[in-house]
Structure 1
Amino acid sequence: MNIVPMNRQYADEYLHWQYKEPYTFYNIPPEGIEETDHEIFDDPSIHYFSVLKDGRLFGIYSYVEIEDGLEIGLGICPEETGKGNGKRFVSECLEFGRNYFNYQGTFTLDVVEFNRRAIHLYKQLGFIETGGASRLSFGKSVTFIKMELGAT
């Protein structure tokens, strides 16, 4: 896979991904596209990358440097989910983050509590649950689980 900084073409594609049930939560609603676009291109604290496979947008990685670690966000395009790509995809996200940011500390992430498939995968990779909280996501109250992977 090839990892490159997010550009307008890939951002537009990502912003319009449409997942099927039960993962429709990850579909960015029309009213959230401008907010997310601003986050991608105008917020210097968040670093977005496109993950390409065979010249196509396969997924996205985001990284935020926080007080006690590096927070990651990631997603695989709808057509490629559920095909056994997750472990390699997340492992490459971690490796890229370590290399790009010259970082060997703790990684954190938030995952929606209903996404048992992702939680199971993160646990396989060594993440542990460290808490949870409800917050608004595009106007909906959602419970997220915070997970952490200790320094290497």
Structure 2
Amino acid sequence: MTVTQSPQLAALALNEIGKLLGRLTEDQLAALADGRAHVEFRNDDEGVAGARGPARPPRAAAKDPVDLDAIVADIKALTEEDAVERYLIDRDRDLPLPRLRELADRIGPPVTSKGAKSKAQLRKNIAAGTAGLLNRPASAFGAGWDR
């Protein structure tokens, strides 16, 4: 076993571990912190000693469908643009660019998927068109600037 010298790779792995910890319950986190539980690393590509082939059969290519309506409800409950972007980044694997465009269209105006060439830009559009609107002063959208 060789330890990586790549800080970028280590940061990506640490991000995945952070996502895992974010899905644990309070009790599970407490057990882990107290040493009553442990996290185990398994690489599905490597075989188990004495066994032939991979430790587990490869996962099926088909994924569970993503519930876009539930994601829309989650986003609409968030009040900060940064929180919306973080939420979408955390769901990045579930939301390839075509699904992200579908999500933006499902949210509806003022969110637009038109012109967004990247997932990052589309995430910003969604954040600005949802939580961003809650944080802008009414004068920017109303007659407050009329003289």
TM-score, length basis structure 2: 0.31
TM-score, length basis structure 1: 0.31
Structure richer in helix, relative to its length: 2
Structure richer in strand, relative to its length: 1
